């Protein structure tokens, strides 16, 4: 059975090789170029600058996917419904887990606030992280509980 022009036979190896080449080759060219022009101690600097350019090329390349067609390899944008985000968003789960999630988030938030008096107050970074975790836990648990109550009214 030969694929027709509309078939979507993916070519993941081609995607991987082209993406790696788009990232690695500019880094190596930049590293060798800096080493030749400015001395061997600048090789690392060239790797970093070339890696930045390679990252830009990598992100541009990754927006397209390689597909095998009778005419050869073709690059197309993937369908928006074909991404892993949409697959994760469509997962069905039992609604009882929402209640468990709200309780766990509330406990994490309360525990973070309760730990503040027991930590070293000279390290304000730790106190700030505990406050942020506490606010996140309490706020998200309240939001989860509110969505549960609104859903139960329907």
Q: Last residue of some domain: 25, 53, 80?
A: 80
For residue range 80-125, list pLDDT tens digits in order.
777 777 878 777 777 788 889 999 999 999 999 999 999 887 878 8
Domain assignment present for residue 35? The answer is yes
Q: Last residue of some domain: 36, 59, 80?
A: 80
Report pTM: 0.49
Domain assignment present for residue 1? The answer is no
Residues 105 and 142 in one domain: yes
Residues 117 and 74 in one domain: no
Residues 19 and 57 in one domain: yes
Query: What is the rounded CA–CA span in Å between residue 102 and residue 56?
Result: 40
Which structural domain, as residue segments, surrounds residue 23? 9-80
For residue range 41-58, list pLDDT tens digits in order.
888 888 999 999 999 999
Q: Last residue of some domain: 80, 103, 132?
A: 80
In this structure, are strands 9-10 and 72-76 parallel, antiparallel, or unpaired?
unpaired
Residues 26 and 76 in one domain: yes
Query: What is the rounded CA–CA span in Å between residue 78 and residue 12?
Result: 13
Number of structural domains in the chain? 2
Query: What is the rounded CA–CA span in Å between residue 107 and residue 7?
Result: 51
Rg (CA), the chain: 26
Residues 68 and 13 in one domain: yes
Query: What is the rounded CA–CA span in Å between residue 145 and residue 151?
Result: 10
CB within 8 Å of 147: residues ≥ 6 apart: 98
Closest to 115 measured CA to CA, from 97, 94, 130, 137: 130
């Amino acid at each position: 059975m030969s694929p027709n022009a509309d078939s979507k036979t993916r070519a993941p190896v081609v995607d991987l090789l082209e993406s790696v080449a788009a990232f690695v080759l500019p880094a190596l060219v930049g590293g060798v170029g800096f080493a030749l022009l400015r001395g061997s101690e600048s090789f690392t600097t060239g790797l970093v600058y070339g890696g930045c350019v390679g990252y830009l090329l990598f992100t541009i390349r990754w927006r397209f996917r390689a597909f095998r067609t009778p005419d050869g390899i073709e690059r197309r944008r993937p369908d928006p419904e074909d991404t892993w985000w949409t697959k994760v968003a469509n997962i069905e789960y039992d609604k009882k887990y929402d209640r468990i999630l709200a309780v766990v988030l509330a406990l994490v938030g309360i525990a973070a606030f309760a730990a503040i008096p027991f930590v070293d107050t000279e390290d304000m970074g730790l106190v700030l992280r505990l406050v942020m975790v506490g606010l996140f836990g309490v706020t998200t648990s309240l939001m989860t509980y509110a969505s549960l109550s609104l859903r139960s009214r329907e």
